[in-house]
Chains A and B, each alone.
Chain A
Amino acid sequence: MSLESKIPAGPLAEKWEKHKFNVKLVNPANKRKFTIVVVGTGLAGASAAATLAELGYNVEAFCFQDSPRRAHSIAAQGGINAAKNYQNDGDSVFRLFYDTIKGGDYRSREANVHRLAEVSTEIIDQCVAQGVPFARDYGGLLDNRSFGGAQVSRTFYARGQTGQQLLLGAYSALSKMINTGKVKMHLRKEMLDVVTVDGAAKGIVTRDLVTGKIESHAGHATLLCTGGYGNVFFLSTNAMASNGSAAWRAYKKGAKFANPCFTQIHPTCIPVHGDYQSKLTLMSESLRNDGRVWVPKDKKNQKITAANAVKLPEEERDYYLERRYPSFGNLVPRDVASRNAKMVCDEGRGVGVTGLAVFLDFADAIKRDGKATIAAKYGNLFDMYKQITDDDPYEVPMMIYPAVHYTMGGLWVDYNLSTNVPGLYALGEANFSDHGANRLGASALMQGLADGYFVIPYTIGDYIATLPLGKAVDKSHPAFAEAEKAAQGRIDKLLSIKGNQTPDDLHKKLGHIMWEYCGMSRNKEGLEKARGLIQELRVEFNRDLKLIGSNEELNMTLEKALRLEDFLELGELMVIDAHNRSESCGGHFREESQTEEGEALRKDDEFNYVAAWGYAGEGKDPELTKEVLEFENVKLTQRSYK
């Protein structure tokens, strides 16, 4: 099977404009005859649901929280990029495009990324019009900052709560459309399956998390806006209930899963402190602008405490990022910083009780700029750190360690954001589309809102216009009953196992396997071993899972088990993909593919493609389809931060 990316012909900068003109339109009076199912109401889903309803479509929207405002998007701190060039510092659509392609290590499509950069400016206009209180300077205009090592200041922000304010903006637009009746919002309902009829998506099956009721919802098209799957690792910076189930269920119904092994591991998170740990907290990347990263030179000082670190003489410290990367220093990209932290800890020079941490030290910055200046920049982050660890970063160095943060992989989509299953779309973090092998800071929020506000409202018409007018999707089609029965069957099966291990016990085991063999650094033997271990763990899950209660009630253990069952399969696909891609690129580091200096080595001759995996049936190896990437506007170079 070949995959058609449907990238429009013509010069890069004109593709989107031309495409918007060429896509089929649905007559305004006819839109009301179509229903769109939107699963997930984070940035991508809320913006899509609101906009489609404004255009006249009927929308059925779903989230598993008790409000759309609580989607995981709410937690984004840093900011959102846009090529406004308000700072007159040389930014442009092309530069944002170029930075994003390069940052993604040349594993994304030129056309998609250029479109993202183009619509980025409209996002900011839209959000301001909604009343999103972005930071402003004293002249009353919008303020920007440089983020994640970018050479220009193009990041818009709202204190440390940018994701929150953008989501509340999208949520307000959604609320407005719920009030008009054009959107029917389903809260605390979790999608368990996609329903396909003659190969096209016609709706979903959900479980009401309060009553346990399994029910079908039909639509002419279905959009999955269900976020990323970082929680396959158990510990990540994602919210507790973030999961990969919707994408996974779509995969099992025929949608391709692209580049599943591309995960982003963020270098500045608060280290793990015990087995009871439930999630990891991100400390903003901005801290690396002033903090210096170091570990002791000598292994005898492994596990040194922060309090003792203050007394360690300068000549006994190794500022390893500054040493290895003199030009970028502490500001090397996320993947490089993460890998180096792992390396020094593997050498036995990690700090803190577990030896799995490095210092991020502000002593020099405080000496140089004064405590007040540092407090003005990072005060809230320092407070948060103290709140969690009981250590005061003004007095002792912070301890940080990398943690899983974001998944670049996701459902394969074409230029229209359509999966290969007709009528099934994927938006936001749930698709694979724009970030290649590594995502730049402040560009996930941009992508979610671009997809929802400015891309899907155009591209969905191309499909809807091909459907027969006035024909409602028939929920009495046997495909719906079958999908409901299958969902119920899955639940009954899990409830009947009656073993001894809780979903968390098993999920932690999966997390360890993934982190050990498919984390910051990967190799052939390890990945092969991991695949076997995951298969064994699945057997263990099916034999020894412990649940309690019934389906017909609020049952959080059952919810966890259902999500975990999907993670146990998705984890294996990630390992298969990582095994197949024996090059290093972006967040994916294969030990076999490195330069003499130990830096990542990309292999463009062999791997210049998107790996799209298709489900081949229970117990069968997935099928790989390669979408070869073509670069006409940028020259592929190896990244260097020396």
Chain B
Amino acid sequence: MAGETINIKLKIWRQAGQGKPGKFESYEVNDVSVDMSFLEMLDVLNENELKKGNDPVHFDHDCREGICGMCSLYINGKPHGPKHGITTCQLHMRTFKNGETIVVEPWRASAFPVLKDLMVDRTAFERIQQAGGYVTISTGGVPDANEIAIPKTVADEAMDAAQCIGCGACVAACKNASAMLFTAAKVSQLAVLPQGKAERKRRALAMLEQHDSEGFGACTNTGACEAVCPKEISITHIARLNREFTRAAFSGSETDYTN
């Protein structure tokens, strides 16, 4: 209800820098409006801490609308917190009870080293993307946009996959720290569209190879990633990636399969 406030306790992972030791610290924040977002609550905590002369809790964020993928946070043991289909920045304090203790940790995966407190380094995702997450064309000289009709269902399927915001929650949730959902989303988007078909073999192989070399684990189909993905990317995309990989690995040319 509007106007209502709660008091909460926080246990937050503090770590001064990469490779430095870290530990949980306890905090209390009182009179938290239930209409606040979770990150606004952390802002309030940080303003209080700063005024006391303490270093604020560092966390990544930018759009605060659930679209840039910058925010992270493992909240009470779940990436992006207890609610389904949203990011941390879209979580509101009305989700929590008065007096509740909330545990906040960074994403934990060896491929995502902690930079400070709750901020991690996700540049491994950049390198997976660079390995093949594109259509190799240059600016200009492309056909008219309506030259190829793409069935609505195919376009919608590509869009479902393209919604991934690259947040890394899938990795954080996975006991193998696998980034297969992230990788599959990009491979899948481009594999279903006619524009991406010409190099689908190369793309699948290159992105998977990069995925493995970054130290992400293998996928054992537990589905934990799908359950926490704020954009509800489906694990059927991983199945498609596996098919892409198998075909690519056992076929000679780019074009000898048509689907």
Judged by a CB distance under 8 angstroms, whether B178 is at the interface is no
In the complex, the answer to whether A557 meets B92 with C-beta atoms within 8 Å is no
In the complex, the answer to whether A129 meets B2 with C-beta atoms within 8 Å is no
Q: Which of B131, B138, B158, B193 has the most CB of A within 10 A?
A: B138
Q: Which of A185, A210, A353, A505 has the most CB of B within 10 A?
A: A210
| Residues in chain A near residue B121, CB distance under 8 A | 66
Residue interface mask A554-571, B partner, CB < 8 A = 1: 101100000000000000
In the complex, the answer to whether A274 meets B35 with C-beta atoms within 8 Å is yes
Nearest opposing residue in chain A for B66, CB measure: A384
Given A129-B142, A140-B149, A140-B150, answer yes or no on A172-B135 (Cβ-Cβ < 8 Å). Answer: yes
Within 8 A of B (CB), among A165-180: 165, 168, 171-173, 175-176, 178-179
Bound: A571/B47 CA distance, A: 24
In the complex, the answer to whether B139 meets A173 with C-beta atoms within 8 Å is yes
Residue interface mask A145-175, B partner, CB < 8 A = 1: 0000000000000110100110010011101
| Residues in chain B near residue A502, CB distance under 8 A | 47, 50-51
Judged by a CB distance under 8 angstroms, whether B144 is at the interface is yes
Bound: A525/B60 CA distance, A: 41
Within 8 A of B (CB), among A240-289: 240-241, 273-274, 276-279, 281
| Residues in chain A near residue B152, CB distance under 8 A | 136-138, 140
Judged by a CB distance under 8 angstroms, whether B53 is at the interface is yes
Partner of B115, one of A281, A505, A554: A554
Bound: A274/B131 CA distance, A: 45
In the complex, the answer to whether B126 meets A129 with C-beta atoms within 8 Å is no
Residue interface mask B39-56, A partner, CB < 8 A = 1: 110011001001101111
Partner of B139, one of A138, A178, A453: A453
| Residues in chain B near residue A168, CB distance under 8 A | 162
| Residues in chain A near residue B61, CB distance under 8 A | 240
Nearest opposing residue in chain B for A70, CB measure: B68
Partner of A125, one of B2, B138, B145: B145
Given A130-B134, A187-B126, A554-B116, answer yes or no on A239-B149 (Cβ-Cβ < 8 Å). Answer: no
| Residues in chain A near residue B116, CB distance under 8 A | 210, 553-554
| Residues in chain B near residue A430, CB distance under 8 A | none
Partner of B43, one of A134, A158, A276, A390: A276
Nearest opposing residue in chain B for A159, CB measure: B159
Judged by a CB distance under 8 angstroms, whether A439 is at the interface is no
The SS class assigned to the B binding surface is loop
In the complex, the answer to whether A133 meets B62 with C-beta atoms within 8 Å is no
| Residues in chain B near residue A66, CB distance under 8 A | 60, 70, 121-123
Given A168-B162, A278-B43, answer yes or no on A130-B62 (Cβ-Cβ < 8 Å). Answer: no
In the complex, the answer to whether A75 meets B53 with C-beta atoms within 8 Å is no
- Shortest CB-to-CB span from A531 to chain B, Å, is 28
Residue interface mask A200-212, B partner, CB < 8 A = 1: 0000000000100
Judged by a CB distance under 8 angstroms, whether A128 is at the interface is yes
Judged by a CB distance under 8 angstroms, whether B76 is at the interface is no
Nearest opposing residue in chain A for B41, CB measure: A276
| Residues in chain B near residue A140, CB distance under 8 A | 149-152, 155
- Shortest CB-to-CB span from A380 to chain B, Å, is 11
Judged by a CB distance under 8 angstroms, whether B189 is at the interface is yes
In the complex, the answer to whether B3 meets A353 with C-beta atoms within 8 Å is yes
Judged by a CB distance under 8 angstroms, whether A29 is at the interface is no
Partner of B39, one of A158, A176, A278, A457: A278
Residue interface mask A37-70, B partner, CB < 8 A = 1: 0000000000100110010000000000111011
In the complex, the answer to whether B134 meets A139 with C-beta atoms within 8 Å is no
In the complex, the answer to whether A131 meets B195 with C-beta atoms within 8 Å is yes
Judged by a CB distance under 8 angstroms, whether B17 is at the interface is yes
Judged by a CB distance under 8 angstroms, whether B258 is at the interface is no
Judged by a CB distance under 8 angstroms, whether B36 is at the interface is yes
| Residues in chain B near residue A549, CB distance under 8 A | 55
In the complex, the answer to whether A69 meets B69 with C-beta atoms within 8 Å is yes
- Shortest CB-to-CB span from A289 to chain B, Å, is 22
| Residues in chain B near residue A164, CB distance under 8 A | 67, 163, 165
Partner of A240, one of B33, B64, B146: B64
- Shortest CB-to-CB span from B172 to chain A, Å, is 15
In the complex, the answer to whether A175 meets B130 with C-beta atoms within 8 Å is yes
- Shortest CB-to-CB span from A343 to chain B, Å, is 25
In the complex, the answer to whether B62 meets A240 with C-beta atoms within 8 Å is yes
| Residues in chain B near residue A178, CB distance under 8 A | 126, 130
| Residues in chain A near residue B55, CB distance under 8 A | 548-549
Nearest opposing residue in chain B for A163, CB measure: B67
| Residues in chain A near residue B43, CB distance under 8 A | 276, 278, 504
Bound: A273/B93 CA distance, A: 14
In the complex, the answer to whether B58 meets A556 with C-beta atoms within 8 Å is yes
Given A67-B126, A142-B145, answer yes or no on A172-B134 (Cβ-Cβ < 8 Å). Answer: yes
Bound: A387/B137 CA distance, A: 40
In the complex, the answer to whether A557 meets B50 with C-beta atoms within 8 Å is yes
Bound: A221/B226 CA distance, A: 45
In the complex, the answer to whether A125 meets B50 with C-beta atoms within 8 Å is no
- Shortest CB-to-CB span from A130 to chain B, Å, is 6
Partner of B53, one of A71, A135, A387, A548: A548
Q: Which of B17, B37, B143 has the most CB of A within 10 A?
A: B37
Residue interface mask A487-522, B partner, CB < 8 A = 1: 000000000000010101100000000000000000
Q: Which of A66, A67, A140, A164 has the most CB of B within 10 A?
A: A66
Bound: A76/B110 CA distance, A: 33
Within 8 A of B (CB), among A74-103: 74-75, 84, 86
In the complex, the answer to whether B133 meets A546 with C-beta atoms within 8 Å is no
Bound: A267/B107 CA distance, A: 37
- Shortest CB-to-CB span from A103 to chain B, Å, is 24
| Residues in chain B near residue A127, CB distance under 8 A | 145
Bound: A124/B145 CA distance, A: 6
Bound: A241/B55 CA distance, A: 19
In the complex, the answer to whether B67 meets A74 with C-beta atoms within 8 Å is yes
Partner of A142, one of B50, B119, B133, B146: B146
In the complex, the answer to whether B2 meets A353 with C-beta atoms within 8 Å is yes
In the complex, the answer to whether A130 meets B40 with C-beta atoms within 8 Å is no
Bound: A133/B190 CA distance, A: 10
- Shortest CB-to-CB span from B208 to chain A, Å, is 15
| Residues in chain A near residue B62, CB distance under 8 A | 65, 70, 72, 239-241
Judged by a CB distance under 8 angstroms, whether A322 is at the interface is no
Within 8 A of A (CB), among B4-26: 16-17
In the complex, the answer to whether B134 meets A161 with C-beta atoms within 8 Å is no
- Shortest CB-to-CB span from A393 to chain B, Å, is 15
Judged by a CB distance under 8 angstroms, whether A389 is at the interface is yes
In the complex, the answer to whether B134 meets A165 with C-beta atoms within 8 Å is no
Nearest opposing residue in chain A for B17, CB measure: A553
What would be 19 A-B contacts, judged by CB atoms less than 8 Å apart? A54-B138, A69-B129, A70-B62, A74-B63, A126-B140, A128-B142, A130-B137, A130-B195, A137-B152, A142-B145, A185-B126, A274-B35, A276-B43, A387-B86, A388-B90, A390-B92, A457-B139, A505-B47, A557-B50
Interface residues of B, Cβ cutoff 8 Å to A:
1-3, 16-17, 33, 35-37, 39-40, 43-44, 47, 50-51, 53-56, 58, 60-65, 67-70, 86, 90, 92, 94, 115-116, 119, 121-123, 125-126, 129-131, 133-140, 142-146, 149-152, 155-156, 158-159, 162-163, 165-166, 189-190, 193, 195-196
Q: Which 4 A-B pairs have the closest CB atoms?
A: A140-B149, A172-B134, A129-B142, A133-B159
Task: Knowing that A130-B195, A172-B133, A500-B51 touch, tell me 4 more A-B residue pairs with CB under 8 angstroms.
Answer: A72-B63, A84-B145, A504-B47, A556-B56
